[in-house]
């Protein structure tokens, strides 16, 4: 057997083990999101409204999921604090976006017990699922970075992106400027992540775009399950506009920055560590 043939036989099982390791950790990182989407789908045709509204059940279900993650130590204390902060910020945005004056989206079942104004309290968990994923993926894949942008710059862009979700209804919309700045800012940064015993690398901007796309796909599942609906989906489901992908990208970067404030207390990857 030639040396190249032996190498191919050797690397095949190694790559398979890497793939299995990566897939299992990815599933663990997505655990909250998968379970929550499953809850939305299973309750799509909710027949128990005379006992408990669907939205109230989903809130209790999401709360139980969150407590389970903490009890089984799948989320650390400082990560939970960051996720809770993102949950609060997102809930404030929900109250604004679903107000009658704005009407960006709505909830077919507003809930009876657990709601604030027109927003069911389970809505905040839709966003904390994003923070939960980023926090666990960061730890499980042992994220390391090279050429990470200045933290003050990432925080500034994230805060401006959050503010623009409110202000663009009244003044100039700067989302495309923020998207361009963000892609340039993260474009120079290299992300390294574990796949078992090895580290792989990719541009951080590409990783963020991939996560935003996955969230957009999940949003299509959520609207199909009628957890919430956009204008035009009242009489039947239709695919969510691709423009929402960019909105999720900006909001996801806010979550990423909040999680980074916990994890970047250690140094980023230096070239000498390669």
Q: What is the pLDDT of residues 163-194, one digit of tens each?
A: 999 999 999 999 999 999 999 999 999 999 99
Per-residue pLDDT at 112: 80
Is residue 30 domain-resident? yes
The position carrying tokens 């919430």 is 228
The encoded tokens of residue 59 equal 């809130």
Is residue 239 domain-resident? yes
Is residue 9 domain-resident? no
- CA gap 254, 158 in Å, rounded: 5
The encoded tokens of residue 116 equal 């604030």
- CA gap 63, 57 in Å, rounded: 10
Per-residue pLDDT band at 271 (split at 50, 70, 90): very low
- CA gap 186, 150 in Å, rounded: 10
Please give the tally of structural domains in the chain: 1
Is residue 13 domain-resident? no
pLDDT tens-digit profile of 3-24? 444 444 446 677 888 989 999 9
The encoded tokens of residue 102 equal 């704005």
Is residue 144 domain-resident? yes
Q: Which domain holds residue 262?
A: 23-273
3-state secondary structure of 274: coil
pLDDT tens-digit profile of 66-87? 999 888 888 887 778 888 888 8
Sheet with 190-195: list strands edge to edge: 144-146, 190-195, 198-203
Is residue 6 domain-resident? no
pLDDT tens-digit profile of 28-71? 999 999 999 999 999 999 988 888 999 999 999 999 999 998 88
């Amino acid at each position: 057997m030639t040396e190249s043939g032996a190498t191919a036989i050797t690397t095949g099982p190694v790559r398979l083990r890497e793939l299995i390791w990566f897939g299992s950790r990815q599933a663990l990182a997505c655990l909250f999101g998968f379970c929550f989407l499953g809850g939305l789908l299973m309750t799509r045709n909710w027949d128990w409204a005379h006992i408990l509204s669907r939205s109230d059940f989903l809130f209790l279900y999401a709360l139980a999921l969150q407590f389970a993650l903490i009890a089984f130590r799948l989320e650390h204390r400082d990560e939970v604090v960051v996720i809770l902060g993102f949950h609060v910020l997102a809930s404030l945005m929900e109250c604004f976006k679903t107000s009658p004056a704005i009407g960006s989206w709505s909830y077919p079942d507003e809930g009876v017990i657990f709601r604030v104004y027109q927003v069911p309290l389970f809505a905040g968990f839709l966003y904390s699922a994003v923070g939960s994923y980023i926090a666990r993926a960061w730890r499980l894949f042992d994220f390391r970075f090279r050429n990470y942008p200045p933290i003050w710059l990432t925080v500034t862009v994230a805060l401006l992106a959050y503010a623009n979700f409110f202000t663009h209804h009244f003044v100039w919309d700067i989302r495309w400027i923020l998207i361009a700045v963000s892609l340039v800012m993260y474009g120079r940064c290299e992300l390294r992540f574990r796949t078992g015993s090895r580290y792989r690398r990719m541009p951080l901007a590409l990783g963020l775009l991939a996560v935003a796309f996955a969230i957009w796909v999940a949003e299509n599942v959520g609207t199909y399950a009628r957890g919430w609906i956009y204008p035009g989906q009242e009489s039947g489901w239709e695919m969510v506009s691709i423009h929402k992908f960019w909105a999720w990208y900006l909001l996801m970067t806010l979550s990423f920055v909040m999680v980074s404030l916990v994890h970047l207390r250690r140094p980023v990857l230096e070239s000498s560590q390669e």
